[in-house]
Structure 1
């Protein structure tokens, strides 16, 4: 795979390149090591593209997991203990989601990475909630979110979100004082070539 775009949220790119150059270099190496051609194995059953061979988001995720784990990046999970303190006086629940947890895909040296080839809401949640939570829990200081660019998302099932959409929303949302620095990396397959320079 290759990097097609980068967006620096809350100075993420600068901070990561200056303070975490080894981790950043490793993430770039991981992206270029993923062979997306092995992940184009999903036959579409959708009405808009019946029989078309598409990239499988789950196969792409597995390929990224293999590359991150090979380099010593680990998943980090924290248990959630949900409070019952906020129920109104005439309500109580015995079912408070036992075994609930939050998990970040990969962590190494206080850099958190999420790989997202799914629905839009997960991209926003990762950057605007999950990474802040893991920072508040003293697990990470910065984040990297790896997502497809639109041209690549168009080669997957409908409903997969993409870099350009995500960046537009982050730009119009703005940065809050609780947001951590995050680098959003838009990726595509090896077949997509850079624009020729004129």
Structure 2
């Protein structure tokens, strides 16, 4: 009688164990996009579910079930701040791709251009050293420190992309930044109404970068 009961229980145990192993294997096979950004990607002034990153994550869950997005963006972050926490993020999430969306706060504060470029370069190199494909987001800033500073600031993104043969995503809020009804009162951050448009733009350019590998 005992042997009769143990047989089906053993089969159930084997089946459950197989399902758990397969689930764990499936999760480890996911391709991860790590977004290292500032307030433009952190959803400053918005509810989490309103931000373009959250909207993109929802889309990708349906269209690309083997992908996941980790948003490591922090409002107010700089290239040096991102660099300080980057190794830990790489070790924790082991991303397939890294979207580097930093530099805006550096530029708004007038940081030395050479320091900004050096930090961005190190972010790219660290990504590659950890077998992650870096994708660089171009950043533009207001002419607070003069046109020459702005021109050189923007040029650095193109220089880094060219040097490392990276996909460079053109400034992703440029199309909404000139429309007051799509911006928050500070004139710097897109509002909730703009997020779907930004999500569509980033979906297109990120997929182009991923498919070009």
- TM-score range normalised by the length of the shorter chain: 0.3 to 0.5
> Greater Rg, structure 1 or structure 2?
2
Q: Which has the higher strand share?
A: 1
* Structure with more relative contact order (C-alpha pairs < 8 Å, separation 6 or more): 1
